Amino acid sequence: MESFMREAASVNVATSLRELREAQGISMRTLATRSGLSANALSMIERGKTSPSVSTLYKLADALGVSITAFFGTENPKKQVVFLKADERTHMSFTRGVFEGLGGSQFSGRVEPFMLTLETGASSGPSNVVHSGHEFVFCLRGRLEYYVDKQFFMLEAGDSLLFESRLRHRWKNPGATVTTALIIISGFAEGEEPHAMHWKNKDVKEET
């Protein structure tokens, strides 16, 4: 996992967050209030002193009213056809994992494909996620636990899961090895940012 993260052309979350916040004319204190994070935690992230968890990234995206892909930098013009070479994917590291964009931020349609590589214990956070559209999950390696509408599904390499995203859901890597999964969110409402999900729990620590 560590070698993978070193090789990844990771986005500088600290710089992207500061630019997004300043572009909207929002103070650090205001963003802290909106996101439910402490001003100190936000300051540590913006100064590059700490790496945010995936739950924290979602909270910040929601507070700023943008997709999590906005942290990748300036958004490209929308295209009807998007072709990406393997080394052109945008990588973003978070606590215990790596997020890889697969062209959704450049595509004109309502599809958000991305890949997650997760260390043991990495999760989407303790709160359930609800949004419009549909979610498809394909486990490439390791084990991935998905909770959907009061049911638990354990995915292993080759297993898939498809469900309506309006159902409460969350995910976690419960295994002892690294997990990689392909996730595709589609059919979401016009104007909705599928990654800017609403996190109610203010505890930004990863589940163990």
Q: What is the mean pLDDT of residues 108-134?
A: 84
pLDDT of residue 165: 86
Summarised one tens digit per residue, pLDDT across range 42-94 is 998 888 888 777 667 777 887 887 766 677 655 567 889 989 888 888 777 77
Q: Is the pLDDT of residue 192 over 60?
A: no
Q: How many residues does the chain have?
A: 208
Q: Is the pLDDT of residue 159 over 50?
A: yes
CA dihedral 98, 171, 155, 119 (to 10 degrees): 40
pLDDT of residue 73: 56
Q: Is the pLDDT of residue 9 over 70?
A: no
**What b/e sequence results for 88-118 when a residue is b if at least 16 CB atoms lie within 10 Å of its CB, and e otherwise?**
ebbbbbbbbbbbbbbbbbbbeebbbbbbbbb
pLDDT band for 131, please (50, 70, 90 cuts): confident
- Partner residues linked to 100 by β-bridges: 91, 115
pLDDT of residue 174: 95
Q: What is the mean pLDDT of residues 141-145?
A: 97
The model scores a pTM over 0.85: no
pLDDT of residue 188: 66
Q: Is the pLDDT of residue 144 over 50?
A: yes
What stretch of H or E contains 124? none
Judged by average pLDDT, the poorest of 16-20, 70-74, 133-137, 173-177 is 70-74
